[in-house]
Amino acid sequence: MSDDVAILHSDGGARGNPGPAGAGFILTRPDGSTICRGGRYLGETTNNIAEYKALIWGLETARDRGVSTLSAFLDSELIVKQIAGTYRVKHPNMKPLYQRAVALMGGFSKISVGHVRRENNKEADILANEAMDCRGTVGDADEPAEGPDQTSLF
């Protein structure tokens, strides 16, 4: 089955704000079958930064898996509205994350980003929490890429 069309659910969270944080995502095919899933401990950061890092990891993974058409869903209304241009990104620590997410989105032939209620984003939330609990990486997704433009992201 081709993986050029996919659905991404991502979630980030912090226990305290800031506090110990994690990022999680699941990438699925339109039929609901899983392509891959992952969660990663982020150390001490804010919830919003964790949300962006989860989205970025999911976008990078989708790109690396050859996805050309992607529907992304997040339960952070703030991040969705920033991506849509409805809200400005004011916090200096979030600006590079926003820029990275937008740059990654430009690499897809078709992409949509939408808000989903928290109860419809449970698997990504579970992965983020598992990563916080073990203070490590969970799932079968590749580790986020480290490189000159990404070193500070994870």
Partnered with residue 11 across adjacent β-strands are 24
Residue 49, domain member (yes or no):
yes
Residue 150, domain member (yes or no):
no
Residues 57, 142: Cα–Cα separation, whole Å: 9
Q: Tell me the pTM.
A: 0.92
The tally of domains found in the chain comes to 1
Average pLDDT over residues 68-83: 97
4 pLDDT band, cuts 50/70/90, is very high
CATH number of the domain bearing residue 43: 3.30.420.10
What integer pLDDT is reported at residue 2 of this predicted model? 61
Average pLDDT over residues 1-23: 91
The conformation of residue 82, written as its DSSP 8-state character, comes to H
Domain range holding 56?
Answer: 5-137
Residue 151, domain member (yes or no):
no
Residue 68, domain member (yes or no):
yes
What is the amino acid identity at position 96? P
Give tens-digit pLDDT for 34-64.
Answer: 999 999 999 999 999 999 999 999 999 999 9
Is pLDDT above 80 for 145? Answer: no
Q: What SS3 state is found at 39?
A: strand
Distances in whole angstroms, Cα of residue 39 to Cα of each of 42, 51, 90, 132:
10, 12, 27, 8
